[in-house]
Structure 1
């Protein structure tokens, strides 16, 4: 049984030691758990704001938020807690800035949690900033006006500036300007959001960014704002109060995974290769020399980066395989009223101190790396690690899709291309009939006819099947077109779980039985064995249990159509019924007839016996009963 996971925030009071120490020891830092926010469960995201004190906003799912506020430098582990609930809304994302948090809901509304006591009245996204405190979440009126119908798709924050990308691809911004709003005014701050740019596809946020980065529908990258050391990547170091095209990313912006802009440097990571590029001050970003355009960081060659986050003068990356690297200032010391710049102490030292260094993860994350996805976040002066639990139902169907095993049907696309024999070549995509028909409500022959009438290609079908199996939306435009082709409405989020629940309730479609031996006594007192059966769908067993996948891989073709199998785990019919219910629903329900302790013990053994891809969700539910 695994323990409850910690959120780990690395800080050490008044002196913040980032990433490596003065001696370049590669095993540092030693992450320190923050006591009051350990042992949390079901966290969607954590962000950290406020420059001088350590504050964390924790999104616990749906519409629940918790704010942890430290009391100061000397007591980084002493937190106060505030809880918030946004009624009648479901949260989609949260972002952090300096003394400000933004909350985006699935309905496209934006809310703000801001601290006006820090002298930031002109920098917070509220029409009435004088009334703003961290005690209350308030709507941003500009985007909550029903008449204007401005629905926000994504949000971002850069320091004291706020950005809102609407569904019509118009980008709005407000807060402290300095050119970051891109409206051609250099230093006029805006309380009410102003239109910055149109045809925007994505915005990139960073807690301490002095510049704004966006991508457009023409697959280009633009930036504006402060440009010290050339951090905008446009080829010069002049500040820009309007968006400028980044030259070496023309027609390549769709391949950008993330961009993180810090005080002195900017880091960019690509999607497909996971390559890491940087521009700006070479002493801070690990490229050795100052660069006015993005250059590949040589020491990270061969590392596929999957996450990137940055703070004021430090940066973290997570590579495939959960390897953590970081670089930036090794020491940051503050006085009450001033910041002592430490650059001088490194002028006579080797530049190697600024190269990305591998950082040891806390033991908990090493021991349980397959139970959840590790998430990294850099606040202004902090580093946060936290677990994002794997949704086992979704993850299992993703693996089923990628393995292409046990497929029993196919989507056939008529191709216009011809081979050397001048014969038309059809494209066949292997699928599992049950899941595709369940998710679409259509028969396979209907799907084939409709797709071929509208000349859908294999790449587009792959986008569609990723949604069918595990709800990934690779390209919303293409996906929407395929649904229109199939005469289906665009599906809501989390519909996979609802569809599998319908499958669980449909007894007529269940095609397999698990036979369980139960001991009973006859009239003579002799024990007899009776077999009781639990009806299931074979596909559910194949998707969710390693034991059954291995079992069906090893049987011969004549036995592939088996309708039942005996269970040899020794578990009671009662505990197996609960287990099967969990495989369909990701939930466990006890009734008054159950002995909870007995069921828990049996199910904990069953997780290992049936080789279930279970995260802490499953065991945590058991422990909390």
Structure 2
């Protein structure tokens, strides 16, 4: 079906109970999967959306004006299904313009235009950087750290990472499986109560960090002036269920994921972590994955766990020549491969693929309140 440019996919964010589809026209729809009872997508009644973030027990919407609307059990206990403006709850009036949002399993992180980070939601595992005994949860944003350039977490994670303007990395939250990369000596500390500097991280520019339930994956770009930038993946945590891409090894510091699948002329375009699975898209049109696969979320035709990287057969892509415009989004038990061209693109059609139950399938966007988005 022909689709106008404004209806092209811009982003997908998916978690355990929900999946949000954001379109180029600034509108979004959400697909709920409560108690495994499938429902049709419904329109989100918020305009001018810039970014969406879904966690297992919350959703967050960032508008182009810098406001954040969120809902969830730990965001608005009186009415968890109602979106409220959480950025307006920040006490500092000069700090209410939000630049970025990231969702954890039950917490939301806000990066302001002044480079301050606020957290809201569950803090039972100290994922907001405070003593969990004194503060189990908060429905008002609390200041976590100043002078921050990037924030990282995961839709199934009780951990968070913050990167300051000096490229120093800090982490807090759940660490029972060593997923904060603090080293062997810190592995037994289940909760890291305050933001702690992560030492011995790989050299290079940190592009992204994504957190699963018991592992974390870091994307580093080598910016050697004598060669083209090369991106590499590093992981830490437990591999028993999720895989770290390194045989059956556990590692409590970020170490490189090495595989013959990452050839010299390959570069990593995109990657995503769910609760247990990791999917990677390379410049040579390779789809690589490893980790949990009980629901077929690796899209390789079986439900076997793969602890080391495997190559997954891509579906027939309509826009194969524009592989850099494809993106991946992994949720708790499902994964998406979708085409998101730049805003200036002339393409008039969209493509979405869902990895689930042994095969790829297309997704339609007929909402329960009538019509397409």
Call closer, same or farther: CA 1:362–1:356 in 2, change over 3 Å: same
Whole-angstrom distance in 2 between the partners of 1:185 and 1:146: 24
Matched, 1:68 2:19: no
The question of whether the paired residues in 1 share the 8 Å contact of 2:12 and 2:21 is answered with yes
Measure how far apart 1:211 and its partner are.
1.1
Aligned residue in 2 for 1:202 = 150
- Secondary structure of residue in 1 paired with 2:41: strand
Matched, 1:280 2:237: yes
Matched, 1:131 2:79: yes
From 326, 336, 343, the equivalent of 1:384 is: 336
The structure showing larger relative contact order (alpha-carbon pairs under 8 Å, at least 6 residues apart) is 2
Aligned residue in 2 for 1:58 = 21
Encode CA deviations 1:408-444: one digit per residue, 9 max, x unaligned. xxxxxxxxxxxxxxxxxxxxxxxxxxxxxxxxxxxxx
Aligned residue in 1 for 2:275 = 312
The question of whether the paired residues in 1 share the 8 Å contact of 2:56 and 2:106 is answered with yes
Measure how far apart 1:233 and its partner are.
0.5
The question of whether the paired residues in 2 share the 8 Å contact of 1:95 and 1:156 is answered with yes
Q: Residues 86-235 of structure 1: matches in 2 within 5 Å? A: 86-87=46-47, 90-112=48-70, 114-115=71-72, 120=73, 123-124=74-75, 126=76, 129-133=77-81, 136-140=82-86, 142-143=88-89, 147-177=93-123, 178-186=125-133, 188-235=136-183
Whole-angstrom distance in 1 between the partners of 2:10 and 2:150: 21
Call closer, same or farther: CA 1:79–1:131 in 2, change over 3 Å: closer
Whole-angstrom distance in 1 between the partners of 2:27 and 2:66: 17
- Secondary structure of residue in 1 paired with 2:230: coil
Call closer, same or farther: CA 1:85–1:61 in 2, change over 3 Å: farther
Whole-angstrom distance in 2 between the partners of 1:224 and 1:285: 20
- Secondary structure of residue in 2 paired with 1:131: coil
Whole-angstrom distance in 1 between the partners of 2:27 and 2:63: 12
- Secondary structure of residue in 1 paired with 2:128: coil
- Secondary structure of residue in 2 paired with 1:104: strand
Measure how far apart 1:392 and its partner are.
5.0
- Secondary structure of residue in 1 paired with 2:66: coil
Q: Residues 334-349 of structure 1: matches in 2 within 5 Å? A: none
Q: Residues 478-489 of structure 1: matches in 2 within 5 Å? A: none
Matched, 1:297 2:291: no
- Secondary structure of residue in 2 paired with 1:370: helix
Measure how far apart 1:86 and its partner are.
2.4
Q: Residues 309-458 of structure 1: matches in 2 within 5 Å? A: 309-331=272-294, 353-363=306-316, 365=317, 367-370=318-321, 373-391=325-343
- Secondary structure of residue in 2 paired with 1:80: coil
Whole-angstrom distance in 1 between the partners of 2:334 and 2:255: 26
Whole-angstrom distance in 1 between the partners of 2:116 and 2:92: 17
- Which is higher, the Rg of structure 1 or of structure 2? 1
Aligned residue in 2 for 1:440 = none
Measure how far apart 1:130 and its partner are.
0.8
Whole-angstrom distance in 1 between the partners of 2:51 and 2:336: 17
Call closer, same or farther: CA 1:108–1:322 in 2, change over 3 Å: same
Measure how far apart 1:617 and its partner are.
5.4
The alignment's TM-score, normalised by the length of structure 1, stands at: 0.48
The question of whether the paired residues in 2 share the 8 Å contact of 1:317 and 1:326 is answered with yes
Whole-angstrom distance in 1 between the partners of 2:91 and 2:216: 36
Q: How many pairs were matched up?
A: 322
Encode CA deviations 1:579-600: one digit per residue, 9 max, x unaligned. xxxxxxxxxxxxxxxxxxxxxx
Measure how far apart 1:137 and its partner are.
3.2
The question of whether the paired residues in 1 share the 8 Å contact of 2:289 and 2:310 is answered with yes
